[in-house]
Amino acid sequence: MGQDRYYNSIISLRAIFFILLLSSSVKFSFCPKPPRMVRHYGYDKAPKTALIEIRAVLESEEYKIIEFAPEDGFMVTDYKINYWGKNQFQFAIIVHVKDKITFTGMGKLDLPVAGLGNPDSIMETQTMDRLPYRLQREVFSQLDEKLKKLGYYNINHWP
């Protein structure tokens, strides 16, 4: 009898130890942040040629170029309105061409404002450096396809 109780307590201690070990090795996150809005590409061309081709791609996607500096390998687009269901978000892109091409996104998202107040100002536009991943994917997947056709290749680079 005493030996069975000792055996059962060891089994229950093993189960508790296993649960503690499992929970300490797995990070639970109930509110994860979306990834940064950055893409990196490799290329095998002259940097100025690459920047001119990227400008053509962005203009074909209806982005308005507001700053273009080929001597510095730099370009900035204005915010383009994209629709997401009934809502809209705005997305602008900064391009740096050096040893690799870096696309950095800037986003604005219309979010409902909580509380009572002026019914005309229910939505508030917030500038974010991290839009939800599916919105980022929607924007960058269109660019990925066109850039791949021109010979640019995606680099998995963190951060």
2-35 pLDDT tens trace: 556 666 666 666 767 666 555 555 554 454 554 5
Q: Is 114 inside any structural domain?
A: yes
- The per-residue pLDDT for range 92-131, each reduced to its tens digit, is 899 999 999 999 888 887 666 655 556 566 656 666 666 7
Contact indicator for 61, 67 with CB cutoff of 8 Å: no
pLDDT computed for residue 47 by the predictor: 93
Q: Is 6 inside any structural domain?
A: no
The domain that holds 136 is classified in CATH as 3.30.530
Q: How many domains does the chain have?
A: 1
Top-ranked range on mean pLDDT: pick from 49-58, 105-114, 139-148: 49-58
Residue 153: which residues within 8 A CB-CB, separation 6 or more? 41, 42, 43
Segments forming the whole domain that contains residue 58: 35-155
Q: What is the pTM (predicted TM-score) of this model?
A: 0.67
Q: What share of the chain is helix, strand, coil (3-state, %, to 5)?
A: 35, 30, 30
Q: Is 150 inside any structural domain?
A: yes
Instruction: Tell me how far CA of residue 69 lies from CA of 28, 52, 129, 150, in angstroms.
Output: 44, 10, 23, 21
By CB atoms closer than 10 A (0-12, 13-18, 19+), residue 124 is exposed
Taking 90 as the threshold, does the pLDDT of residue 62 lie above it?
Answer: yes
pLDDT computed for residue 113 by the predictor: 61
Q: Is 4 inside any structural domain?
A: no
